[in-house]
């Protein structure tokens, strides 16, 4: 599909004035992708920060690919035991920005479906399948794909000023990036339809009440709280957390027999880990366990 000259319909216009579009576009193309996805690892926590504040952190094609790569790296790196996904500026993520996508020829039947599978759905899958717990620290507006990116995370912290918007209906579109899959599993079908049908902005406090957000904190405390949660996870039994994540994510798509079988298999696998053996030994010795993520 030919790239859009502006953010995709799954994005939302910023609430405050931003730099002119020409400046934004030149920044997106001129700056290396590493400056648009900031990355640092500290105390076992991989911090992934969207860094296009002038565009409300709308995700470009190359950003998406780099973000998926960083999540895959986190899964494979034993030194990473938790991930925090956040953003700079006033927006968490305004959706997908198709500028900079690889050029495409004439559209044919199947192109749109392929674009969704290879783009938004791959990104959400990368979060869901990451073998380390992923915390979303939502610092501002999360709209369209940006909302789904946050909701795919294992835990969601939101600043008081954050809001979530299912903007697709405003553009006459159906949701992508797994929205119709994630929302009913988080808040039930009726509430999900209300958000998807009307596209109203959902303040952070209301998102917490509905169960979309684990905790709402003052804006100035978001990073501190995210660090506390992430470092607590990073000090935990990493493989047990990975297996627990898999069990919970699969639980709503399977029957009881399959879920119980998966649980037993996960227990069998986990009992071979050093952390499980440490957990049992510390219980017997009546001491606090020290986990090393192995």
Whether 168 has a pLDDT exceeding 90, the answer reads yes
pLDDT band at 104 (very low <50, low <70, confident <90, very high): low
Which residue is it, tokens 């003052």? 218
The DSSP output letter for 55 is G
Q: What is the pLDDT of residue 106?
A: 76
Each residue's pLDDT tens digit, 8-52: 444 443 333 333 233 333 334 446 777 899 999 999 999 999 999
55-80: average pLDDT = 96
Percent pLDDT > 90 in the chain is 79
Q: Which residue has the tokens 């978001």?
A: 222
CA angle 231/235/239 to nearest 5° reads 120
**pLDDT of amino acid 32:** 73
- Output the pLDDT for position 283: 93
- Average pLDDT value for residue range 76-101: 91
Report the pLDDT value the prediction gives residue 63, as an integer from 0 to 100.
93
Distance of alpha carbon 191 from alpha carbon 261, whole angstroms:
31
Distance between CA atoms of residues 55 and 12, nearest Å: 10
- pLDDT tens-digit map of 107-154: 788 888 888 899 999 999 999 999 999 999 999 999 999 999 999 999
Cα gap 169→179, rounded to integer Å: 12
Query: What pLDDT shows up at residue 262?
Result: 95
Sign of the C-alpha dihedral, residues 186, 189, 191, 193?
Answer: positive
- 227 compared with 17, residue with greater pLDDT: 227
Q: What is the pLDDT of residues 187-219, one digit of tens each?
A: 999 999 999 999 999 999 999 999 999 999 999
Among the listed ranges 54-63, 102-111, 247-256, which one has the minimum average pLDDT value? 102-111
Report CA Rg, the chain: 20
DSSP 50: E
> Residue 109 has what pLDDT?
85
The sheet that has 215-217: what strands, in order across it?
A: 37-42, 45-50, 82-87, 134-138, 155-159, 215-217
Q: What is the mean pLDDT of residues 93-116?
A: 80
Averaged confidence pLDDT in the chain: 88
DSSP state of 97: B
Confidence of residue 101 (pLDDT cuts 50, 70, 90): low
């Amino acid at each position: 599909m030919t790239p859009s000259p502006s953010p995709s319909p799954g994005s939302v216009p910023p609430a405050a004035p931003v730099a002119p579009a020409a400046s934004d576009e030149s920044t997106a193309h001129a700056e290396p992708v590493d400056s648009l996805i900031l990355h640092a690892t500290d105390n076992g926590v991989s911090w992934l920060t969207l860094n296009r504040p002038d565009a409300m952190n709308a995700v470009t094609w190359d950003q998406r690919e780099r973000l998926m790569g960083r999540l895959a790296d986190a899964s494979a790196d034993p030194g990473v035991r938790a991930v925090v996904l956040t953003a700079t500026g006033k927006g968490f993520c305004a959706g997908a920005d198709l500028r900079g996508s690889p050029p495409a020829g004439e559209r044919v039947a199947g192109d749109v479906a392929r674009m969704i599978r290879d783009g938004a759905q791959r990104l959400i899958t990368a979060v869901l399948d990451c073998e380390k717990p992923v915390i979303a620290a939502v610092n501002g507006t999360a709209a369209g794909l940006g909302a789904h990116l946050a909701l795919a995370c294992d835990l969601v912290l939101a600043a008081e000023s954050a809001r979530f918007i299912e903007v697709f209906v405003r553009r006459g579109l159906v949701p992508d990036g797994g929205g119709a899959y994630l929302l009913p599993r988080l808040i039930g079908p009726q509430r999900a339809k209300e958000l998807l049908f009307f596209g109203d902005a959902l303040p952070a406090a209301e998102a917490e009440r509905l169960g979309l957000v684990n905790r709402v904190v003052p804006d100035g405390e978001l990073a501190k709280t995210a660090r506390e949660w992430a470092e607590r996870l990073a000090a935990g039994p990493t493989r047990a957390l990975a297996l627990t994540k898999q069990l919970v994510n699969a639980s709503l798509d399977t029957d009881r027999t399959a879920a119980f079988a998966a649980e037993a298999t996960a227990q069998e696998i986990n009992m071979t880990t050093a952390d499980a053996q440490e957990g049992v030994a510390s219980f017997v010795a009546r001491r606090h366990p020290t986990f090393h993520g192995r």
